[in-house]
Amino acid sequence: MSTLRFLGACGTVTGSKFLLESGSHRVLLDCGVFQGSSELKQKNWSPPPFDPASLDSVVITHAHIDHTGYLPRLGKQGFSGPVYITPPTAGLLGYLLPDAAHLHEEDALYANRKSYSSHKPALPFFDAKDAQSALGLLRQVPFHERAEAAPGIAFTFRRVGHILGAAFVTVEADARRIVFSGDVGQRDVPILLDPEQPEAADYLLLESTYGDRLHPDASPREELGRVVVETVGRRGVLLIPAFAVGRAQDILYHLRSLQRDGTIPEDLPIYLDSPMAVSAVDLYCSATSEHDLEMEKLRDAGLCPIEGPSVHLVRDRDESIALNSRRGPMVIVSASGMLSGGRILHHLKHRLSDPATTLLFVGFQAQGTLGRRILEGAREVRIFGEPIAVRAEIRDIPALSAHADQRGLIEWVASLASPPRAVSLVHGEPKAREALAAGLRSKYGWTVNLPAEGEAVELK
């Protein structure tokens, strides 16, 4: 009999890690880090409750760090591969893991300078060498190709529309079929093909990020247009914090399309200020096998639809600093998406107390993050140790998120031919998980579990 152990993303939206054991074989599904509050981040330092060297393999749904950021750490602790991954995800990780290593190295340097770490000297969570070693373990498996994760454990990736390369995984072990959703995207969004749907599952692991919300019916693209027009009207700066991979590219696509149809000025400067997001733009533009029809049509007409004459891709640090002295109107899209670090913090420090500024959220803001505090109405926040008054206009368009809402999640599993024996909800805060569980029970009458971290289910 196989068992599935929940090692993260239980009652929270980060730290995805699930251990499948079948006979003497062990496969880890996703290998993410916890993000958000300092208590959550501290958990990343605890050793995993299994011997990393004993794993047959790791199977990864998508590139986001809360699903992959523990890979270099696992390597340091004796795991020697392989890591199965879709080809576009491998491309993204080639940038994401070295970037994460760089941030960890900077954190350690800062901790040593301020000597606030209990470890002397403070060491990075992983470094550039560890990131390179982890990249050496990646084995690409195309979508729809059945492959072996361990003797007797097969898996197949299918597209789930969340970010470039994102998959849901069907694992077959002990004559049981386990569907692991990863993060489920929305239908009819720009650039990427729509999510595919699972046809059969004995056990279903389903994400629940927006399990308690319904995205409004109003077109998020039009709402974005209105926010831009209002901010331009008062010659302000529109700051859009966005996850470097996925959100940033979708937002640029929408902004360019609003420029093309004349809703917003064609010459309005748009800055993408994140080296990681700039690298991901190249990958998004070149991944033609992943594009939907609209993207292909626009691409055939010439330029990649994410780029344009007034779109400035900012890699260079000095160029980023120079934006501080520029006057509006302009749009700055920068990372990180939940304001937990990155260049967006510098922009906030300079612009958040200016009433002409608009700060627009386009993705989920987890508990314990600066983004969540501002969204919940904080009048003053601390950025780099300095108190900053919040006088900017704060807006939120959750429908621009890369996650399906409650309706989308319930519809995504409507394709299952027969009820799963059990459904476990992961990757959601408590209220969201409970609301989605209630929704699934009332719509389908299914058995729905809300596993606690460390819990295991037997796949009978």
Q: Which residues bind Zn ion (CB under 5 A)?
A: 64, 183
One-letter identity of residue 169 = V
Kindly state the smallest distance separating residue 201's Cβ from Zn ion, in Å: 20
Closer CB to Zn ion, residue 56 or residue 250? 250
What contacts 270, CB < 8 A, 6 or more positions away? 252, 255, 308, 310, 311, 312, 330, 331, 333
173 CB-side CA count, 13 A:
28
β 237-241/330-334 pair status? parallel
Residue 64 or 351 with smaller CB distance to Zn ion: 64
Distances, alpha carbon 31 to alpha carbons 71, 170, 215, 345, 452, in Å: 6, 17, 29, 27, 17
CB of 93 to Zn ion, least distance (A): 13
User: Any bridge partners for residue 422, and if so which?
Assistant: 203
Residue type, 233: G
Kindly tell me which of 2 and 181 has the beta carbon lying closer to Zn ion.
181
User: Three-state SS for 405?
Assistant: strand
Pairing assessment for the beta strands 380-383 and 386-389 based on DSSP bridges: antiparallel
Give the Cβ contact number of residue 386 at 10 Å: 8
DSSP-assigned states of every residue in 61-116:
S---HHHHTTHHHHHHTT----EEE-HHHHHHHHHHHHHHHHHHHHHHHHHHHHT-
User: Could you tell me the smallest distance in angstroms from the CB atom of residue 107 to Zn ion?
Assistant: 22
The least CB distance from residue 402 to Zn ion, in Å, is: 6
Q: Check: CB of residue 282 under 8 Å from CB of residue 248.
A: no
Find the shortest distance in angstroms from Cβ 279 to Zn ion.
17
Supply the minimum distance, in Å, between the C-beta of residue 427 and Zn ion: 9
Q: How far is the CB of 64 from Zn ion (least distance, A)?
A: 4
**Scanning the structure block, which residue is given the tokens 């027009």?**
229
Residue nearest to Zn ion (CB): 64
The nearer residue to Zn ion, 22 or 249, going by C-beta atoms, is: 249
In the bound complex, what is the minimum distance in angstroms from residue 184's beta carbon to Zn ion?
10
CB 359 within 8 A of CB 352: yes
Q: Give me the least distance between CB of 183 and Zn ion, in Å please.
A: 4
Helix H or strand E encompassing 374 = helix 370-375
**Dist. CA 186–CA 210, nearest whole Å:** 11
If the CB atoms of residues 69 and 305 are measured against Zn ion, the closer one turns out to be: 69
